[in-house]
Amino acid sequence: MTSLHSDKTLTKKIETKFKSKSETIDLTKLNSFEWKELLILGPYSMIDNVEKKLNLDLENIKVNGIEYIDSVNLLVFIKDGKSIKISEVSREIGDFVDLGKIIEKRNAKFIKTENGKNKLAE
């Protein structure tokens, strides 16, 4: 199985959205590939634990190093219970409130808050 590496083009697109003046960031429009769910892992996330807890196949991202890195959040795009694309998004754009849980694509919209936390739009 091939290990996934952070998709630089996708990361740039996501970071640009979060750096924009827009208050709401809509990731549902990321359609250059097919995905069904989003999982956001914060710094020091243990992929083995997340994989077991959420019953996912994350084998192809285990070498990515999020367990040891504190400068990025890892956005994991999922299809059919497997990670298909990842993006290491700099924490300079803020952190996320909804870490470690499955977010359905249609709900992948975020609101930037004053304290720098990006939370899911209701």
For the segment 7-29, what is each residue's pLDDT rounded down to a tens digit? 999 999 999 999 999 999 999 99
- In this predicted structure, what is the pLDDT of residue 1? 65
* 59: β partners: none
Question: Is the CB of residue 86 less than 8 Å from the CB of residue 74?
Answer: yes
Quick one: which of 17, 29, 45 has its CA closest to 111?
17
Question: Can you give the pTM of this predicted structure?
Answer: 0.95
Residue 117 · residue 18 · CB < 8 Å: no
> How is residue 106 written in tokens?
């249609």
Tens-place pLDDT, residues 70-102? 999 999 999 999 999 999 999 999 999 999 999
Per-residue pLDDT reduced to its tens digit, 102-122: 999 999 999 988 778 899 997
